[in-house]
Amino acid sequence: MDLDHAVHWILNDGSSVGMLLLFMLASSITVFFGARGRKKMLTTSRAGHDMEEFVREMKAAGHNEEVSREVYLYIEEHYGIDFPILPTDNLCMMLGITDDSVQYVMLPALLKRSGRAPRLGRLMMPLETVANLVDFVERAPLGTEYVREWQTA
């Protein structure tokens, strides 16, 4: 491409590319500041909620305190959630955690951390909220439940 063609392209076709780049930049800035505003709003509206409050709410609903604490800490540490997490938070819509991440990353790690193992042949229940996740981990058998009779004698 010689200089005349380059100048022609910039004057005629380059303006479209420039407009596209400008639009992409404006969109990125909007998303960035929107996310910051959302985070600030969640932090403010959830003032007074913390991990201990989460554990108390889960215990009042009949859930294990240790499992509730493990799930909260895992989400906070591994997914960078830095606003208070509620039991009703949707994993995907509110916390940005995909179904694949829940199934292939989060569940195996949480089961291992809590000394539990997945039940073989068990169908996956939909895990939409943090409370659903706590319930699923809590219902998984403890690792010692897999010991066969002949191994206990």
| pTM value > 0.85 | no
For range 35-47, the mean pLDDT: 64
For residue 103, pLDDT beyond 70: yes
Query: Residue 47: is its pLDDT beyond 70?
Result: yes
3-state secondary structure of 142: strand
User: Span 30-41, mean pLDDT?
Assistant: 59
| Strand partners for 96 | none
Separation of alpha carbons 28 and 15, rounded Å: 20
**DSSP code of 116?**
B
Among the listed residues 145, 83, 85, the one whose alpha carbon sits nearest the alpha carbon of residue 120: 145
What is the chain's mean pLDDT, rounded? 78
Between 83 and 52, where is the model more confident?
52
